[in-house]
Amino acid sequence: MDKPADYRHTIELRPSWQTRALNALLRLSARRRVSQESDVAVLRRAYEEIDARYFQVARDVLRTPVDCGGVPAEWVTLPESRHERVILYLHGGSFAFRFPNAHAALVSRLCRRLGARALIPDYRLAPEYPFPAAPDDCHRAYRALIAQGLDPRNIVLAGDSAGGNLALVTLQRVRAAGEALPSCAVLLSPALDCTMTSPSMADYDGLDPVLQLRTLLVLRRCYVQSPQQYIDPEVSPLFADFRGFPPLFLQAGSSEMLRDEAVRAADKAHAAGVDVELEIWPEVPHTFQVAAFLPEATSAIDHIARFVGRRTGWGDAGA
């Protein structure tokens, strides 16, 4: 039997009762609502309600709106945040939605573990602003951080779902421009292939408690105007040249539709000589890290902090 690749890690844990309960709840409520709606405006209102009702940020977290290179953004800072340590976090939401409380809460937990602060760009959304508006804004935000005098070795690029896509596209653009790359990148359940041809996309359609192929196809048309663009590496960064990328850390659920996009990206990064680690977590939902009450989410944040601490040289982080 072939030995598993040493950069791939399957987390050997039985799913917690909290994860099993959340999956059941998502299947009964959120997923049913999404499957019945294809109007982006209606979905936005529903998601705004969910974000406001169910996600809260700790009282000691300071959220400060700023302009970052012409891109509206929000700084997330804690009392223990060190000014020089920055996470540039690109939020998910199918390129069409925002979850400001959910992402601020997630990022604040990571900042607390790393003694860092985070910038969350409010990049332009589809369908009002289709590709390439979002990657344009993300690259501008990164350039603005560098222009402020921040050391790129103290910048961590991170993102979930569509934000993971934008993180890899930002790396491509930074590399192509000859600019200094960040220390590492963290991709959580990344959506990396707009052709949607990974085996898990079909295998788990109807089983994934969060995502559904029908809705993803509608949202893809909002973001990308022409099917010929689906294989563009700036639309589907899975088709990019990974050579020269900084260290990459990926997490995905074992039974989510985007699982194989994370697996394929890790394999491609490894083949290109990139320092990469992939974790597959059993039966957790898409972007499970946002659900702070899940034991798996707490452990996942610890694993991210450990990886980042080692690649950044932040000696007191991730211990």
> Is the CB of residue 135 less than 8 Å from the CB of residue 234?
yes
Q: Tell me whether residue 26 is in a domain.
A: yes
pLDDT of residue 28: 85
Q: How many CB atoms lie within 10 A of CB 58?
A: 12
Which of 108, 161, 189, 200 is catalytic? The answer is 161
Which of 256, 261, 283, 296 is catalytic? The answer is 256
CATH of the domain at 96: 3.40.50.1820
pLDDT of residue 221: 95
Q: Which of 17, 80, 97, 107 is nearest to 289 (CA)?
A: 107
Mean pLDDT over 144-172 rounds to: 98
What percent of the chain shows pLDDT beyond 70? 95
At 280, which helix (H) or strand (E)?
A: strand 276-281
Q: Tell me whether residue 237 is in a domain.
A: yes
Q: For 69-136, give the DSSP string.
A: TTEEEEEEE-TT--TT-EEEEE--STTT---HHHHHHHHHHHHHHHT-EEEEE----TTTS-TTHHHH
Q: What are phi and psi of 139, to 5 degrees?
A: -65, -40
Q: Tell me whether residue 54 is in a domain.
A: yes
Q: Tell me whether residue 193 is in a domain.
A: yes
Q: Tell me whether residue 3 is in a domain.
A: no
Would you call 256 a catalytic residue per the annotation? yes
pLDDT of 69 strictly over 90: yes
Q: Which of 186, 52, 10 is nearest to 111 (CA)?
A: 186
Q: Tell me whether residue 171 is in a domain.
A: yes
pLDDT of residue 1: 41
pLDDT tens-digit series, residues 112-125: 999 999 999 999 99
Would you call 303 a catalytic residue per the annotation? no
Mean pLDDT over 33-45 rounds to: 75
> Is the CB of residue 210 less than 8 Å from the CB of residue 291?
no
pLDDT tens-digit series, residues 275-319: 999 999 999 999 999 999 999 999 999 999 999 999 999 977 655
Looking at every residue in the chain, the average pLDDT score rounds to 95
- Report how many domains make up the chain: 1
What percent of the chain shows pLDDT beyond 90? 89
pLDDT of residue 317: 64
For residue 80, what are the domain limits?
Answer: 8-312
pLDDT of 144 strictly over 70: yes
Would you call 84 a catalytic residue per the annotation? no
Q: Tell me whether residue 318 is in a domain.
A: no
pLDDT of 2 strictly over 80: no
pLDDT tens-digit series, residues 218-249: 999 999 989 999 999 999 999 999 999 999 99
